[in-house]
Amino acid sequence: MLEVRGLAAGYGEVQVLHGLDLAVSASSITAVVGSNGAGKTTLMRCLAGLIPATAGSLRFKETEITAESAARRLARGLALVPEGRLVFPGFTVGETLKIGGFSARARSGWQTRAEEMLALFPRLAERRDSRAGSLSGGEQQMLALARGLMSRPRLLMLDEPSLGLAPIMARSLFDTIAKLRAGGLTLLLVEQDVAAALSLADHAYVLENGRIITQGSGRDLLASPAIRKSYLGI
What's this model's pTM, rounded to 2 decimal places? 0.93
Q: pLDDT, tens digit, for every residue of 178-226?
A: 999 999 999 999 998 999 999 999 999 999 999 999 999 999 999 999 8
CA–CA separation, 34 and 37 (whole Å)? 8
User: For residue 85, is pLDDT > 80?
Assistant: no
Average pLDDT value for the chain: 94
Q: pLDDT, tens digit, for every residue of 127-166?
A: 999 999 999 998 999 999 999 999 999 999 999 999 888 8
Q: What residue type is 102 in one-letter code?
A: F
Sign of CA dihedral 160, 164, 168, 172: negative
| Helix, strand, coil share (%) of the chain residues, nearest 5 | 40, 25, 30
What pLDDT, on a 0 to 100 scale, did the predictor assign at position 234?
59
C-alpha separations of 198 from 32, 66, 137, 202, 211 in Å: 9, 28, 24, 8, 18
Q: pLDDT, tens digit, for every residue of 4-48?
A: 999 999 999 999 999 999 999 999 999 999 988 999 999 999 999
